[in-house]
Amino acid sequence: MIFSPSRMGRLNKRALIRQLQKAGVASRAGLARSLGMSQPTAGKIVDELLALEILEEVEVPAGGEEGETAARLGRPGRQLRLNRTQPSFLAIHLGLSETRLAELTLGALANDEWQVSFRQPATTDPAAAWARELRGAAKPFRARKFLGILLSVPGVVDESSSRILLSPNIHWSEQVILPDIIRRHWDVPVLLVQEEYALALGHHVNHPGHDDFLLVDFGEGVGGAVLVGGKPLAGPLPIRGEIGHTPVPGNPRQCGCGATGCMETLVSVRGLLESFAGAPRRKNGSWAELHAHIAEHGVEPWLATSLEAAAAAIAGAINVVGLRRVVITGSLAELPPAVTQHLFRAIENGAMWARFGSVECVAAPRRRTAGLAAVGIDRFIVPDREQHGEPSRAAFSAKSAVKNGKIHKQTTTVNK
C-alpha cells in the first residue's frame, strides 16, 4: 500500500502520540528510537506538536538512559509528555440519577476527577429538566475554548447519527439528540461515546500491556467492552458488549430493556439490594449495610447464585471471542474481596482456556476520563480521515485556530 505524504504525516503523528500515551514521558531520541523514525523526522513532529500545545516539555531528574540521551542532544533534564496543563476537551457522563462534568487535558490523569455534577430531577419531562440543569452546570466552563465535547452514555449508541437507540435504564435519552442540547452552550463538535468503550480505553491507557481483554462494569446496569490488539472489537451493528442482557434461566425479574430474566437484574446495584432484602431474616438494606454484611458473613447462597449467573455469561463471552483476561470494574469491585474472588473462580470454571492454560481476572477502578481523553485524541487531535464517523474538523487547524483566537471557517466554529 502506498501512502500520500500527508497521510504518512498523520500516521507518524498518531504513532508518536500513542507512544507517549503508553510511555507517559519520553525524550525526543527515545521516541525516535521506539518508533523507528529518524531523529530529524521525530524532532520535526515534536516541534509541531509543541507549537500547537499538544505536547509539553517537563523537567525530569538527571541520570538514566533517557536523561543521558537528552543531555547529549543539548536538552538536559527535559522530556516530553501529552499536555496536562491546558484543557482541550469537556467530558460529560450521563448516569441514571447524576450527570458529571470535567475538563480534560490530553494527558488526563489515571483517576477520575469530576468538577461539577447535578442530580436528575424527578419530573414528567426528564429531557427538559436535564437541559435546564445542564445550563447551570455549564457556567464554569463557558469561557473555555474546547476542541470538542465527549459525552459518555450507557446503552446501545449509534455514534454516526449521535443517537441513543436503546437505554434500558434512561429511556428518556432515546427520545432526544443530546448533542443538540449540549451545543446550545458550546459551538463545538460533540461525540457520543458508549460508556463501556470509554472504560475499556481508560484501563488500556493505564495498563498498556493489556491489549486483549473483556471489561465488565457493574453499577446501575451491567455492560461490557472487548479490546483486541488495543482496539475495540466492533461488529456491523452499534451494539458493544451488552453482556448484562444475557438471559438467566429461572430469573423472573423484569428488565428495563423489555425482556425478562436479564443477568443485570441480579447483579446491578438495584438487583443485589433487591436480593439482599429478600434473603432470609433480612430487611431492606443500603449498599453500606450490604457491604458490612458480606464482610461479616461472606458470600451467602443468594449472592453466590447471582455471581455464578454473571460468571457464566462472562465465561461464555471470552470463550466465543478467544480471550484470557477479564477486567471487572464498578460496584462489585467495591465490595469485600470475597465477592470478586467467588466471581473469578466461577469464571475460570467456565472458561475453556483454563482447561489448558490460565485465565487472568482482575478488579480495577473505573477510569472513564482517561478513556474519554483517549477518544478525544483519536478523533480530534490525530484523526485518521478514513475512519467511520470522523468529525469534520481538521484537528490541527482547529488547534491552531483556538490558540490564535481565530475561527476555522470550513468546519464547525469555535467560540471566541
Residue 19: what pLDDT? 87
Output the domain CATH number for residue 40: 1.10.10.10
266 has a pLDDT exceeding 80: yes
Instruction: For residue 45, tell me if it sits in a domain.
Output: yes
Same structural domain for residues 332 and 237?
yes
Query: Structurally, how many domains does the chain consist of?
Result: 3
The whole-number pLDDT of residue 397 equals: 41
How high does pLDDT run on average in the chain? 85
**Mean pLDDT, residues 232-261 taken together:** 90
For the stretch 299-358, pLDDT in tens is: 999 999 999 999 999 999 999 999 999 999 999 999 999 999 999 999 999 999 999 999
Please check the confidence at residue 402 and state whether its pLDDT lies above 70: no
Among 52, 82, 112, the domain-final residue is 82
Q: Are residues 219 and 318 in the same domain?
A: yes
CA distance 96 to 268: 12
| 111 or 307: which leads in pLDDT | 307
The pLDDT value recorded for residue 370 is: 93
Residues forming a β-bridge with 224: 216
CA trace torsion 204, 205, 210, 215 (10° rounding): -20
Q: What is the CATH number of the domain that holds 319?
A: 3.30.420.40
> Which runs of E-coded beta strand occur in 309-393?
325-330, 360-363
Examine residue 257 and state whether it is found in any structural domain, yes or no.
Answer: yes
pLDDT of residue 70: 42
If DSSP states are collapsed to H, E and C, what string results for 381-410? HCCCCCCCCCCCCCHHHHHHHHHHCCCCCC
Report pLDDT digits (tens) over 386-401: 444 444 333 444 444 4
Q: For residues 277 and 346, state if they share a domain.
A: yes
Q: Are residues 286 and 347 in the same domain?
A: yes
- What is the model's pLDDT at position 372? 95
Q: Are residues 292 and 217 in the same domain?
A: yes
Task: Establish if 238 belongs to a structural domain.
Answer: yes
Q: What is the pLDDT of residue 77?
A: 64
pLDDT band, very low/low/confident/very high, at 179 (cuts 50, 70, 90): very high
The answer to whether residue 91 scores a pLDDT higher than 70 is yes
Instruction: Specify if 414 maps to a domain.
Output: no
Beta bridge partners of 193: 152
Tell me what pLDDT residue 239 has.
Answer: 79
Question: In percent, how much of the chain has pLDDT > 90?
Answer: 62
More confident residue, 21 or 193: 193
Sign, CA dihedral 348-352-353-357, equals positive
- What DSSP designation does 243 have? G
Domain match, 67 and 135 both: no
Which of 97-101, 233-237, 405-409 has the lowest average pLDDT? 405-409
In this structure, the answer to whether residues 120 and 194 fall within a common structural domain is yes
Express each pLDDT in 122-147 by its tens digit: 888 999 999 999 999 999 998 888 99
User: Is residue 383 domain-resident?
Assistant: yes
Amino acid identity of residue 204, one-letter, is H
Of 82, 99, 132, the residue that ends a domain is 82
Q: Are 97 and 67 part of one and the same domain?
A: no
> Which residue, 14, 48, 82, sits at the end of a domain?
82
Note whether 71 and 125 are same-domain residues. no
The yes-or-no verdict on residue 273 having pLDDT over 70 is: yes
Query: Same structural domain for residues 325 and 380?
Result: no
Indicate whether 312 and 219 sit together in one domain. Answer: yes
Mean pLDDT of 16-35: 88
Q: Could you tell me if residue 237 is inside a domain?
A: yes
Has residue 415 been placed in a domain? no
Claim to verify: residue 16 and residue 32 sit in the same structural domain? yes
Q: Which three cell numbers stand for residue 31?
A: 521516541
Instruction: For residue 184, tell me if it sits in a domain.
Output: yes
Domain span at 309: 210-363
Place of cell 543531555: 71
Helix axis angle, 39-51 to 28-35, nearest 10°:
120
Q: What is the pLDDT of residues 167-178, one digit of tens each?
A: 999 999 999 999
- Residue that wins the pLDDT comparison between 75 and 219: 219
